[in-house]
A and B are shown apart, each in its own frame.
Chain A
Amino acid sequence: MIASDQGPILEIKGLRKNYGSTVALREVNLTARRGELIVILGRSGAGKSTLMRCINRLVTPTDGEIRFNGVPVSGDKKVLRAYRRKIGMIFQHFNLVRRLPVLENVLTGMLGYKPTLPSIFKVFSRDEKLRAIECLERVDMAHKAFQRADTLSGGEQQRVGIARALNQNPDLLLADEPVASLDPTIARTVLGYIKQINEEMGITVLLNIHQVNYAREIGHRIVGLADGVITFDGDISNLTDDVLNRIYGGKPEDTYDV
């Protein structure tokens, strides 16, 4: 990891993914610099989620190369574990373990670093718990640490999701439609935390979103994805109506207004 701390954090070349005869990603090339916040824009089914899941290999790509910190990603178990723990992910439906307390949910972010035996007995040191509390503090959720996750509102659950990802000490954060299930006010709060993590902690963020107005509020660099192909990659200022038509396929008033 030391030698590779220069250069792009993520390089994707010729990435393809087929589900049977359905093509989800055709030919995706994308490079992310360290500390960037990239908004990936596209309507539902464009391949945004598949792209993210190819990056952390929740989905196995059909073809193409992905390099993270200069190292090619493989399916080898040991390599994969070391690699996944440096990539945090937050989900549209939060994916917390609803019956566990908030603190334990955040502690699960550490599992990629922990040997199996102590973790299956749920043994965590005081420092580890303190770290989990600190991650919760960053999203202003420390006061709910001992409540069960299913007692929280949607916005609160997503903040715990962010804390869980932070506890991985990630270099890269994948946020897959993190605010699609939240109302606009709460969505802006959650996006604010993500932006803060990017700016203050220097964590590179890939953010999937389908609403253009959120993208305009948060983003610098926008990547537009349509039908598994990148149709736009550039600064937010170049995001014209013409470009949006290319991303959303001609019916902007239906698809990208909130």
Chain B
Amino acid sequence: MMSSAIANQRLTTDPDYRARLQQRLDSEMTPAERYRMMAVQFATLVVVAIVLYWTAVDTNVSLGELVRGIPAIANYVARMYPPDWAYSRALLGPTIETIEIAIWGTVLGIVLGLPLGLLGARNITPHVTIYAASRFILNALRGVSELVFALIFVSAVGLGPFPGILALALHNAGMLGKFYAEAIEAIDPGPVEALQATGANWIQIIVFAIIPQVTPHFITYNMYRFEVSIRSATVLGLVGAGGIGFYLISSIRLFDYQETAIVLIIIVLLVVITDYLGTRLRARII
């Protein structure tokens, strides 16, 4: 084989030298260390396998059941045909509302997430306490699903798109703030040092050394969150927070399969178009 051919080429034949090279190669770890490493790897593998098996049993993961369910799924899909195209006219308003919820949910998310991200980046935070507090707030915002937020806001401000916007905004702020903070932590520290050396203050350093470096990342994250928000906004209606989701849940509950079909088609189209436009726009900006 070619690979061994090159391995032998010019490889020294002087036995003393060769022995020294081998010694060097073996110096990475002693046999005892090697066995210990292998034991640790094996143990890890066993633990992972046990956890996967145990969780699968506990949650009734069963291929057999899925296979037995296929006829029921096929039946469900068959009843969706043909989709109720006429119903799409009634869905125009809710579709636009869904996009509007996503726009404002993203914009407010950016506005809230930006300061939290700046304060929660270890390399530029003014104080460790502020860093810890921002990270905690971001974790809390991210940990709660937008659906849960939507339920809370629906009871606070009533049914409609507004609670949906608030819910998306809070969840987006949690996500974006973390992304922002991590992008800032990954920047090249050189320019920051150079500006510090000129006597620039905290805000000046952020504006001149940090923002230019992270802008492309921020744009990517914002557009990604907008796409995700479109998706999320299609289900917010399930809990009464406006958008097309309300029509999805009512058609499912009324067993109107053909209406369900058209709602699903519109949702998929919405996501596909957003993704397409997002990709085009990103390529142009970055």
Contact = CB atoms under 8 A, between A and B. Distances in A.
A113 B9 CA distance: 13
A217 interface: no
Contact of B7 (A115, A125, A137, A142): A125
Interface string A111-154: 00111001000000111111101100100001101100000000
A130 B22 contact: yes
B6 A133 contact: no
Contacts of B11: 127, 130-131, 134
A113 B8 contact: no
Contact of B28 (A110, A130, A137, A146): A146
A231 interface: no
Contacts of A92: none
Contact of B24 (A115, A126, A145): A145
A242 B11 CA distance: 47
Contact of A128 (B3, B12, B22): B3
B9 to A, nearest CB: 5
Contact of B3 (A125, A143, A145, A201): A125
B8 A127 contact: yes
Contacts of A128: 3-4, 6-7
Contacts of A129: 25
A130 B21 contact: yes
Interface string B125-151: 000000000000000000000000000
Contacts of B207: none
A129 B25 CA distance: 8
Nearest to B8: A127
B10 interface: yes
A135 to B, nearest CB: 9
A134 B17 CA distance: 9
B157 to A, nearest CB: 49
A143 B27 CA distance: 9
Determine which residue in B7, B9, B18, B28 has the highest number of CB atoms from chain A within 10 A of its CB, and name it: B7
Nearest to B7: A127
Contacts of B6: 110, 113, 128, 131, 169
Contacts of A131: 6-7, 9-11
B3 A169 contact: no
Determine which residue in B4, B5, B9, B25 has the highest number of CB atoms from chain A within 10 A of its CB, and name it: B25
Among all A-B residue pairs, the 3 with the closest Cβ atoms: A127-B7, A128-B7, A146-B28
Given A130-B7, A134-B11, 6 more contacts: A126-B25, A127-B7, A128-B7, A131-B6, A131-B7, A145-B28
13 contacts: A110-B3, A110-B6, A114-B3, A125-B4, A127-B7, A128-B4, A129-B25, A131-B6, A131-B7, A131-B10, A133-B25, A134-B11, A134-B12
